[in-house]
């Protein structure tokens, strides 16, 4: 018989268990980093859409007589060009409340349009003397 004190190292079962545990941990980290990248990209698109909507709303509020309309722009608010990396469609409407006041609504959606990914901003407009 062998003396148990002389045994050194790990058994095959212990090594396989350690490898399986390490592989599971690495796969989990890989999945988390992929999910974080997707969320970050979505967040960036929503932030750009919000900035475009607020910019258009401010433009309409400073106008003497705002009117509804639509356009396609890139992430910087410039007119859409072929080859632009990210494009957005902006639509704005003017709903009169009284002769001196209106409600302005701006909706910005990414192109291609993804369900539930649009940004909607509303504000008021009044006649300034």
28-59 pLDDT tens trace: 999 999 999 989 988 888 999 999 999 999 99
Q: Domains of the chain: which residue ranges?
A: 4-126
Q: Which value, in Å, is the radius of gyration of the alpha carbons in the chain?
A: 28
74: left (phi over 0), alpha (psi -120 to 50) or beta: beta
pLDDT attached to residue 7: 66
> What is the percent of the chain with per-residue pLDDT over 90, rounded to a whole number?
56
Backbone angles phi, psi at 96, to 5 degrees: -65, 135
Q: Which H or E element spans position 102? A: strand 101-111
Q: How confident is the model at residue 85 (pLDDT cuts 50, 70, 90)?
A: confident
Q: How confident is the model at residue 125 (pLDDT cuts 50, 70, 90)?
A: confident
| Residue 2 pLDDT exceeds 80 | no
pTM, to two decimals: 0.75
- The answer to whether residues 91 and 106 touch, using CB atoms and an 8 Å cutoff, is yes
């Amino acid at each position: 018989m062998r003396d148990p004190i002389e045994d050194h190292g790990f058994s095959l079962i212990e090594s396989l268990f350690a490898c399986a545990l390490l592989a599971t941990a690495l796969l989990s980290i890989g999945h988390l980093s992929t999910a974080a990248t997707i969320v970050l990209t979505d967040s960036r698109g929503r932030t750009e859409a919000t900035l475009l909507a607020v910019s258009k709303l401010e433009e309409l509020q400073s106008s003497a007589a705002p009117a509804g309309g639509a356009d396609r722009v890139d992430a910087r608010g410039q007119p859409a060009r072929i080859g632009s990396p990210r494009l957005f469609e902006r639509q704005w409407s003017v709903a009169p409340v009284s002769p001196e006041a209106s409600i302005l609504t701006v909706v910005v959606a990414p192109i291609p349009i993804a369900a539930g990914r649009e940004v909607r901003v509303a504000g008021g407009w009044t006649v300034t003397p």
